[in-house]
Structure 1
Amino acid sequence: MAEVENALMGNGPIIKAKDVRVFYGEKQALQDVSIDFAKNQVTSLIGPSGCGKSTFLRCINRMNDLVDIARVEGEILIENHDIYAKDVDVVALRAHVGMVFQKPNPFPKSIYDNVAYGPRIHGTSQSKDELDHIVETSLKRAGLWNEVSDRLDQPGNGLSGGQQQRLCIARTIAIEPKVLLMDEPCSALDPIATAIVEELIDELSERFTIIIVTHSMQQAARVSQKTAFFHLGNLVEHGDTDQIFTNPKDERTENYITGRIG
């Protein structure tokens, strides 16, 4: 994985997907998806339920490997290194490509230990002082430090839903991934917590490449520079968010945005 780590420092698209196909047993869930992702941009994946957007997201950190009947074909490159090559260490890959899930899932540990978990496992901190700094920095980046700094030893699952999701973001970014995947990260949150996370996404994009699956077109319009529309397992259209929402090239995209399909 040193090659991936070195390559991530280069220029050009950080991710290139070419002709990606996903099968669950005999059923094909994704059909020949090809798309590039630029560094430090937010890209939203939109489309009706079951259209393949989350399936594609999970290809990027090989989460589909955990599904026995799943099979992935095609090519996904992180700076020209094939992440499906036989010599790829999947654990190391997921350190570079972090993921935040739909439902907040803090570990049954203290707030401190939730954030410290990754740096401990991956050996990225050499001392307690360094670990303290990583935890504080990550919580600050996740917009949570001021709310929890005086109770770091309390359980992470005792926080509110929105705070738990920000804790999960802090946990994910503590190991400094280059790519941050978010699978409907606000769908379980109230409007105020959603607004906080959306503002956070904008701030985090200065450091991370973010790909977010969202069921909310309004959210996609607010947080992303690029948008990709999926329908029935196909990537229908991909481009600047403003263009996708105001002047889509494909009739299916227009029908989805205007509510004629969904």
Structure 2
Amino acid sequence: MSDAMEMTDVSAAEAPVASNPVMMRASKVCVFYGEKQALFEVDLDVAANEVTALIGPSGCGKSTFLRCLNRMNDTIDGCRVTGRITLQDADIYDPKVDVVELRASVGMVFQKPNPFPKSIFENIAYGPRIHGLAKNKTDMEEIVVTSLQKAGLYEEVKDRLNEPGTGLSGGQQQRLCIARAIAVSPEVILMDEPCSALDPIATARVEELIDELRENYTIVIVTHSMQQAARVSQRTAFFHLGKLVEEGATDTIFTSPKDKRTQDYITGRFG
């Protein structure tokens, strides 16, 4: 075992305190797929109105952790989550929690854009309709327009709202998916490598959008791109072999990490 592997993980007590109020808190979170343990006692605070980036090599547990935050792991047979995760101090794994409502509060944008096979308008209207957020047609139109504006897409699609969402470019489809998440007024938006399928221009547009959205939303993003993490996030958490090695202010993590594994990953020695 290398010296780097022998180093102990940074404890929650040593980790810098988040600058904004805590929106979500994970305490001693473990995830098991059958007998295999994928996450080991992760402690992480997610601050309100900040972008928290989860980085680390493939298979390190960052996407598994992200899916814990809105209980997407519930959909995987044999997956078991232990520990505690709270959203504004309420335990999201409490048996009384309505998972549909939770996923409206903690929205998800996936790696590959996945618009519904419906019109652009209906892609946005779907969530508000099932959650009863619009009293009438005028309300619904306002929600759709506002969501598209917040996602920086309205001017590009305002004359095509009845055309299929699948007819948009890849970058536009991803912004449509972000608008769809916004439409149900979430508190948190989770993004699982939202730019990995996009070209550099579309990626830059989504990154600008992420920076704009954090004024109103709390964002947690999984990214393979350390440059992206450095550009869009205020805090960064580094995962390795299912453990949270270190977390803190993004500029600190990238310029003076405490743990050798973090430094080795950031400098390209592994990963």
What is the TM-score when the length of structure 1 is the normalising length?
0.95
Answering whether residue 173 of structure 2 is matched by residue 171 of structure 1, we say no
Q: Corresponding residue for 2:21?
A: 12
Q: Corresponding residue for 1:3?
A: none
CA–CA distance in 1 between the matches of 2:59 and 2:177? 25
Answering whether residue 257 of structure 2 is matched by residue 258 of structure 1, we say no
Alignment: residue pair count: 252
Give the secondary structure class of the aligned counterpart of 1:201: helix
CA–CA distance in 2 between the matches of 1:154 and 1:131? 17
Deviations 1:28-51 (A, max 9, x none): 000000010110000000000000
Give the secondary structure class of the aligned counterpart of 2:39: strand
Give the secondary structure class of the aligned counterpart of 2:227: helix
Gaps of 5+ in 2: 1-19
- Matched residue type, 1:106: P
Answering whether residue 144 of structure 2 is matched by residue 135 of structure 1, we say yes
Gaps of 5+ in 1: 1-10
CA–CA distance in 2 between the matches of 1:155 and 1:81? 38
CA–CA distance in 1 between the matches of 2:192 and 2:254? 21
CA–CA distance in 2 between the matches of 1:172 and 1:57? 16
Correspondence list, 1:1-262, <5 A: 12-262=21-271
What is the TM-score when the length of structure 2 is the normalising length?
0.92
Following superposition, the deviation at residue 195 of structure 1 comes to 0.1
CA–CA distance in 1 between the matches of 2:88 and 2:175? 29
4+ residue segments displaced more than 6 Å: none
Deviations 1:129-171 (A, max 9, x none): 1100110000011010010000100000000000000000000
Mean Cα displacement is larger for which, 78-87 or 63-72?
Answer: 78-87
Following superposition, the deviation at residue 12 of structure 1 comes to 2.9
Q: Corresponding residue for 2:15?
A: none
Give the secondary structure class of the aligned counterpart of 2:22: coil
Following superposition, the deviation at residue 79 of structure 1 comes to 1.6
Tell me the C-alpha RMSD between the 2 structures.
0.7
CA–CA distance in 2 between the matches of 1:153 and 1:79? 38
Give the secondary structure class of the aligned counterpart of 1:36: strand
